[in-house]
A and B are shown apart, each in its own frame.
Chain A
Amino acid sequence: VEIVQQKSNDIVTIKLIGKLDSNTSAQLEEAVLALIDSGEKKLLVDGSQLDYISSAGLRVLLMAAKKLKATGGKIVLACLKDYIIEVFEIAGFNMIFQIFADIAEAQASF
């Protein structure tokens, strides 16, 4: 997975390009932990170019959501492909994450 970060108005957008699987999820874990440790509270995952997510990727998102909730922040997702939304639904992750159709809507949620 390639991770592209961009910050504007306190919101850090994390664009994921490629596959979030057992091999690559550690990269996202490292990036997200660094952001949370440096005090970032508003994280937005841009999934427009994310090809798939395995349970290893879901684990990292769950970890991030738990840590951010404790600090009063949150992590939301935008532009997920249909079959990734299906994975979120099967895992019950659609109940604990806000998933938006586009970036502007996701930004407005903070």
Chain B
Amino acid sequence: MEYKHEIRLNNNISEVNRAVEQVEAFGEERGLSLKIINTVNLALDELVTNIVSYGYDDEAQHEIVIELLLDDEKLTVNVIDDAKAFNPLDQPEPDIDLPLEEKKIGGLGIHLIRNLLDELEYNRVGNKNVFTMKKKI
């Protein structure tokens, strides 16, 4: 069986909450573990915050679309936005071994996503960024 759910957000930071609530509802309805729900929500928190904070040069309203696709083996999450071309996978890996005094937070969000999800892919399609994440269930 395949299940699909689509979430449409405005480019406003408070919209992350709405995405999180819908992922939780979808996950509970489909019997996904709390760990998978939280992993996807963490990834969406990092990505959408990034898109809203750094992705747009204008003051206009933009739409960010999140697609959830669940089959027997995995949950696929597509994040589609019309922000500036940005491939999160191009970002350098942070040095996580630094001591407290030198430790920095930059790049940590995508580092968490890289390590918590099973497959990641970025494509620029027309004027859109399409970021795909897959997590085995």
Contact = CB atoms under 8 A, between A and B. Distances in A.
Interface in A5-63: 19, 21-23, 51-56, 58-59, 62
A91 B97 CA distance: 9
A56 B42 CA distance: 10
Interface residues of A, number: 25
B16 interface: yes
Interface in B6-30: 13-14, 16-17, 20
Contacts of A59: 105, 108
Interface stretch (B33-41, B60-68, B120-128): B33-41
A55 B109 contact: yes
Contact of B112 (A65, A66, A82, A87): A87
B81 to A, nearest CB: 16
B45 interface: yes
B74 interface: no
Chain B interface mostly: helix
B82 interface: no
A52 B38 CA distance: 7
Chain A interface mostly: helix
Interface in B71-106: 96-101, 103, 105
B45 A69 contact: no
Interface of A: 19, 21-23, 51-56, 58-59, 62, 65-66, 69, 82-83, 86-87, 90-92, 95-96
11 contacts: A22-B16, A51-B34, A54-B109, A55-B109, A58-B108, A62-B100, A82-B35, A83-B35, A90-B111, A96-B99, A96-B100
Given A51-B38, A83-B34, A96-B100, 20 more contacts: A21-B20, A22-B16, A22-B46, A23-B16, A23-B17, A51-B34, A52-B38, A54-B45, A54-B46, A54-B109, A55-B105, A55-B109, A58-B108, A59-B108, A65-B100, A66-B100, A83-B38, A87-B42, A91-B112, A92-B98
